[in-house]
Chains A and B, each alone.
Chain A
């Protein structure tokens, strides 16, 4: 980062209020960074320069009038899964390449209402299905730490953009690890709140019972600022939960001595890269140094059973959720359909990628007559068992700690031919979605120049504690302040 601009929302917000620079200047700065770096990273699908400058100008007027809040004038990127009124929402798919929603997602509207400035929409795995961001109609996103490697997915564009400081923060969505896994692989802070904490209205559905909107930021303090705005019930989303929203910033500095950390022994298995184990253990030691106690726990179903249940439930829900993409009212329609069946088959056949089709087929199969009990119902039972495992674990611990991913960023094309290996990238994160719990990934070191993520899991609605622990850790470490050299700005 140049000395002129702070690197966090908190810092930028203070500078804006101190009038060190204007919101318009700040927006122009990030737009320049996007213009110079996005060609390489491909992290952003749509840049909304005009709207951004107009919003920044408006923010400057609020700042001049002294009417500000922490996000006033702060540039942000939205994952292209969030509908934006009048601006394309592609979801990384050819299917929605021409789709312009006539409404804002609740998350978008809330952040806009808080004065944030949308710079554009980030690249993603098509319909959030993927763990490497190679599965996008707009091409793969590259990891700013090594552009031959993937940024993770599905919020890979958001993670790469924040890592490369193309924006101080971005929104993401997490169905099985889609915020936390790319956050780990890109060295940023990724928060997935409790299911129902943030409205899903206007977020294109992948797996409705698992999807949750969250944030990608440089640090936990910024995640708290974002969540303060995003959290809360929404009358347009029946599954959003009316649970009190605390001030997440207020408890960041709380002392964590006495914190009880559970370490699931299942997280430290033979699949885990040794260098990651070393760094994650060091991070846990760091928390112990601040007075936390550590206890080994067991979550016997968090891996194999969870991944199996996840791919049944998520595929079933997506097969139904994606049915509306039929070429009738919006989205892609094939040329010269012979008849209705041909229109459906070719529109969907031509616009969906292999991975999306694979999941639709798995989901259609598991829901079909005669298989429903054996797959979908059984998977829901496994899900309840997993939730029960967590509930038991949280009876005498406060947070669970472990690695976010079994390995660091892998090479492009490394796993594209082997979906099962790709699915296992989320092996430590998936159970959290099945149980509906909050989780956060924070940078905790490097292995051969590639970032490593520490995964913290909280109890229901315990985001404040997760952010507190993450922030305390970030007081003692500077992993989250590292910026990939390759994309250090030269022109700003």
Chain B
């Protein structure tokens, strides 16, 4: 039988605010346990939450970024359950009236060759829990509440994805978007960007969804793809053996590359949601939304379209260059320097990215900044150097701080464009190779390439190949 996979994602994005969502404690990561948990975060008796306005701005920004409805009135609810790292015995979240309503996001597939629109059901604000530490405390658990109360935006998608690749592309698109919007650092190692995947399969053509499972806490793109693929295989095996998939929550074990059951639907908590009486409804008016709209940067998809339409870049190049905010920024800085859209795109994608990949660096750590790379490209564009020389200069720049012009001067790499000099070089080569001249004149035109190579060699690569071609032809045809 042909199976179809159906995936929906819940992505938790930690919003980058200085203080917590309901208290004044710092949100800085990686400090000593429980040094950033105030009385409110500890859930001591009598304390009350007070909402941090910054989270509303960031949530609205996200909502505008996915062209969603922004709720004029949203409400915080309590999600009640007991766990030692949940200090109050409830998490403040938004169930009934989330701040961001229905929206959508276009994702790129196959290196930008295809695209697809993914529906976003909603995005709501909530507080993070603390952490339970099970090592180092013989038969006891340690609780670190530094993370308790850090603001999260939970983004819930429609079940619109049909493969692990699509799910991964969507997760990347959200990651790119929140970083463009500067509402989150998106740091996956520190848990600023985590994902739960709802996965089911159904016979191709069937309208009804199959029974789904939820895979928790996927914190890398690669693990998410692997976890989904594994889970899809598991579900298909079950169905093909005539059994039924059980609705449950599963955990992905990246060491064993498998998912395993965490709890079934029957064990699921009844969270007893109800509006938090300690907090007022969040009222957002049009002026507020407009003020946020004014702070919106160009969105990744808009930028990609502009790169294609206005700069004439290919879909692939435009997709690559808008893949992250830093990449786009780098490219736009190079472009500002060179005004050569396609040549610059080519250099960033082919030379720079492969060099960075070789060194396992990302664009923000590039040893060659945009201005220096632009310097090389400018000299190619104005024929000062050839592409081949440019690559030598690029390699040298990776380990030095010099700019292109000083390397060109110091090493005398300037292309030879003086016609007289080139003509005498050509004459020398022709004089030294009478046999090949004969062949050319007898009709073997491809010998021309041999002459060009000889001239380039003689000039140590500095001759302008186009000019050499022209002179050679003129000499040989006479």
Contact = CB atoms under 8 A, between A and B. Distances in A.
A329 B42 contact: yes
B44 interface: yes
A372 B278 contact: no
B80 A323 contact: yes
Contact of A369 (B45, B270, B279): B270
A238 B49 contact: yes
B280 interface: yes
Interface in B18-71: 39, 42-51
A323 to B, nearest CB: 2
Contacts of B143: 328-329
Interface stretch (B81-89, B198-206, B316-324, B354-362): B81-89
B80 A320 contact: yes
Interface string A319-338: 11011111011100000000
Contacts of B440: none
B434 interface: no
B43 A324 contact: yes
B223 interface: no
A201 B23 CA distance: 13
A340 B84 contact: yes
Nearest to B40: A236
B46 A101 contact: yes
A96 B44 CA distance: 11
B443 interface: no
A238 B279 contact: yes
Contacts of A367: 80, 272-274
A276 B278 CA distance: 38
Contacts of B274: 316, 320, 367, 372, 376
A204 B45 contact: yes
Interface string B269-303: 01011100111100000000000000000000000
A239 interface: yes
Given A238-B278, A364-B272, A326 B90 contact: no
A368 interface: yes
B45 A324 contact: yes
A21 interface: no
A102 interface: yes
B78 interface: yes
A196 B44 CA distance: 21
Contact of B280 (A207, A238, A329): A238
Contact of A239 (B42, B80, B278): B278
B73 to A, nearest CB: 15
B50 A236 contact: yes
A317 B277 contact: yes
Most chain-A CB neighbours within 10 Å: which of B47, B84, B89, B272? B272
Nearest to A203: B46
Chain A contact residues: over half helix, strand or loop, or mixed?
loop
A330 B42 CA distance: 10
B46 A89 contact: yes
Interface in A383-421: none
Contacts of B87: 324, 328-329
Given A238-B278, A328-B84, A376-B274, A323 B46 contact: no
A288 to B, nearest CB: 40
A101 B274 CA distance: 28
Interface in A287-331: 316-317, 319-320, 322-326, 328-330
Contacts of B51: 238
Most chain-A CB neighbours within 10 Å: which of B45, B50, B80? B45
A83 B44 CA distance: 10
Nearest to B83: A340
Contacts of A101: 39, 44-46
Contacts of A91: 45
Given A235-B50, A236-B50, A328-B143, A320 B272 contact: yes
B440 to A, nearest CB: 89
A317 B80 CA distance: 11
B248 to A, nearest CB: 18
A103 B277 contact: no
A324 B88 contact: yes
A234 B90 CA distance: 24
A63 B48 CA distance: 36
B82 A99 contact: no
Contacts of B90: 320, 323
Contacts of A322: 89
A320 B78 contact: yes
A391 to B, nearest CB: 20
A105 B88 contact: no
A369 B81 CA distance: 13
A238 B278 CA distance: 7
Interface string B377-399: 00000000000000000000000
A324 B87 CA distance: 6
B89 A326 contact: yes
A237 B46 CA distance: 10
A96 to B, nearest CB: 7
Nearest to B141: A340
Most chain-B CB neighbours within 10 Å: which of A238, A325, A372? A238
A237 B279 CA distance: 8
A102 B39 contact: yes
Contact of B45 (A99, A319, A368, A372): A99
Contacts of B47: 103, 201-202
A200 B278 CA distance: 10
A319 B88 CA distance: 12
Nearest to B34: A329
A208 interface: yes
A268 interface: no
Given A320-B80, A368-B272, A376-B274, A201 B45 contact: no
Most chain-B CB neighbours within 10 Å: which of A202, A207, A329? A329
Contacts of B80: 319-320, 323, 367
A367 B278 CA distance: 17
A12 interface: no
B48 A200 contact: yes
Contacts of B39: 101-103
Given A99-B45, A204-B46, A323 B280 contact: no
Interface in A2-35: none
Interface in B360-375: none
Interface string B76-101: 00101010100111100000000000
A344 B280 CA distance: 31
Most chain-B CB neighbours within 10 Å: which of A83, A91, A235, A323? A323
Contacts of B42: 329-330
A317 B45 CA distance: 14
A205 interface: yes
A61 interface: no
Interface string B251-270: 00000000000000000001
30 contacts: A82-B46, A83-B44, A96-B45, A101-B39, A101-B45, A102-B39, A202-B46, A202-B47, A204-B45, A205-B45, A236-B48, A237-B48, A238-B51, A238-B280, A239-B279, A316-B274, A320-B89, A323-B80, A324-B45, A324-B88, A324-B89, A326-B89, A329-B43, A340-B84, A364-B272, A367-B273, A368-B272, A369-B270, A372-B272, A376-B274
Interface of A: 82-83, 89, 91, 96, 99, 101-103, 105, 200-205, 207-209, 235-239, 316-317, 319-320, 322-326, 328-330, 340, 344, 364, 367-369, 372, 376
Given A83-B46, A323-B82, A324-B88, 18 more contacts: A82-B46, A83-B44, A103-B46, A205-B45, A205-B46, A238-B51, A238-B280, A239-B280, A316-B274, A320-B78, A320-B89, A323-B89, A325-B45, A329-B87, A344-B82, A367-B274, A369-B270, A369-B272
Interface of B: 39, 42-51, 78, 80, 82, 84, 87-90, 143, 270, 272-274, 277-280
In the A-B complex, the 4 residue pairs with the smallest Cβ-Cβ separation, listed nearest first, are: A323-B89, A367-B272, A208-B277, A209-B277
